[in-house]
A and B are shown apart, each in its own frame.
Chain A
Amino acid sequence: MKIAVCAKQIPDPAIAVTYENGTIVRPDEQVLDDTDRYGIEVALQLKEKFDAEVTVISMGKLGTQKGIQQALQMGADKALVIEDESLKNSNSLMTSNVLSEIAKLAQADIVIFGTESSDGYSGVVPQQVSRYLDLPCISYVKGIEINDEILLTRQTITGSEKVVMPSQCVISVTASGVEPRYPNFKDIMAAKSKVVEQVNISSINFTAKQNQEFIEIKSISNDKSGEKHVDEGEAFNLIIEKLKEIKAI
């Protein structure tokens, strides 16, 4: 079994995102998107059971590759990465077109994703990749049980449902359900010698195009500066008065 897990490097989420002409400014040092840790965890659980090979696939500015290293430290075997000027500010279709082609290079049977990235959150890349690869798409997976067959639990609007994982498919994993592992010192050292291979854009078949012209960014002022009171034991009364005043009760 060969597994590809798509993971993105993003600017440190603790620092506010900045833009230049509508494109996110990406520092040299980017980190692994937390969202992707869940997908990586699912990949690693499969690897442990089936001795699968796990390849991390990532597109975007490489920089110091901190985020790629973080993915390898968790236990993935190697990484296939791509960076190209023409892919800057890619829309979701361009991203999924590229990721699909690289998943083919990795000869992946199973391609695993997060449900939405923290910086772009277009939330459609896994679905698009499944379409490009003509594979079944099992989206919003929140649990995995590995026995004789592999059962995936999907989140639905009304609850959840279980499906048997096909031998070839695309999966997107939501936060919760699995607990992403933390690498120990040995894992961190081991990651350093893992192969990170760069894919050249000329070696893949790429047809998706940009389809949004940037106009401007407007920041929304949320600041309402309503009343604020420190509770000295009676603040519950303020809440009740307010609820009455606005006729909520």
Chain B
Amino acid sequence: MKSLIIGEASNGTISSGTLELISKVTQEGLDFKLVTVGSDENPKIGSDTFKNTYMKLNQNELSLASVADEISKIITSESIDLVLASSTYVGRDIAGFVSVDLNASPVSNVVNFKIDGDKLSTTNSIDGGESDYLTNVTSEVKVLLIRPKSFEASVIELNDNYETVSIEKNNLSVAVQDIFIEEKTGPQLEDSKIVISAGRGMVDVENLKFIEELANKLNAAIGGTRAIVDAGWMPYSQQVGQTGKTVKPDVYIACGISGATQHQVGMKDSKFIIAINKDEEAPIFQIADLGVVGDTLSIIPKLIDSL
């Protein structure tokens, strides 16, 4: 099966989601080509073992529709059978556009796939990760949107060996007026060994200072539930769950989080889960390795003082 990975460049290199796809495709022994989308200047995204085309965007234009035009052309001219993208903002936009060109519906929320000759079957995560939905994909071209962290990322040596295509704007491009980069300090959610997440059970935005202090002491990254992100306590980039980030740290500490399935799907594969919640029946306890039934506002300050 000839495959194409729609990858992303971030912080001057290949994103972790893209490395996960490369690892899976390599493991399956598939012939693949990589197209990497980004706006960084001269990122290190090349390799001597696979071909990479860098589709360089102008960050002052929304022009993923033009990128999709290019990718659809490659898929047709190179008779690609399998198209893989991470289920990220960029991945979803491009896969959505390309699927219309190819008349092949993308399969979303894929957490695994298997290839047997020219047959492809997928495992899709449904009901907020409570069940797996197994299917055979029957379209000629198969487009899969893979949930991040489904595969272990490859460790590969990257160099400058790639081709660059500058994406020009077209009639569907929209000019960007203003760009705001959220300042990120401390460890990043996706690759931190310890993640401390807050939910509505922290009671008030003021109390997030305890989460920050605890995170400082443990050198941990900070996450949160959609409930507190919607309430404006935390930026969206820190949301863990179905519509936010997926994390798999060594330790995940859930503070005042009920454990809705949509939250669980983003963290349940963490190696060790500690939950603090005053409600003994909270669903988070079903997946916690260590559950503490109690008040976050009494337990966390003591924890900070004793560390």
Contact = CB atoms under 8 A, between A and B. Distances in A.
Contact of A230 (B62, B89, B293): B293
Nearest to A115: B243
Contacts of B101: 131
A93 B145 CA distance: 14
A224 B286 contact: yes
A216 B230 CA distance: 35
Interface in A1-56: 16-17, 22
B140 to A, nearest CB: 9
A39 B68 CA distance: 25
Interface string B159-198: 0000000000000111111111110000000000110000
Interface residues of A, number: 82
Contacts of A164: 174-175, 177
B10 A131 contact: no
A193 to B, nearest CB: 33
Contacts of B137: 211-213
Given A176-B230, A214-B135, A236-B302, A159 B180 contact: yes
Interface string A215-236: 1111110111111111101011
Contacts of B273: 224, 226
B26 interface: no
Contacts of A223: 286-287
Contact of B131 (A126, A207, A211, A220): A220
A94 to B, nearest CB: 7
A235 B285 contact: no
Nearest to B287: A222
**Which A-B residue pairs are the 4 nearest by beta carbons?**
A127-B96, A231-B294, A93-B105, A124-B96
Interface of B: 10, 62, 64-65, 68, 87-90, 92-93, 95-97, 99-101, 103-109, 121-122, 126-127, 129-139, 145, 172-182, 193-194, 218, 226, 229-230, 232, 235-237, 242-243, 250-251, 253, 264, 268, 271-274, 280, 285-295, 298-300, 302-303, 306-307
Interface of A: 16-17, 22, 91-94, 96, 115-116, 121-128, 130-132, 134-140, 142, 151, 154-164, 166, 169, 174-176, 207-220, 222-231, 233, 235-240, 242-243, 246, 248-249
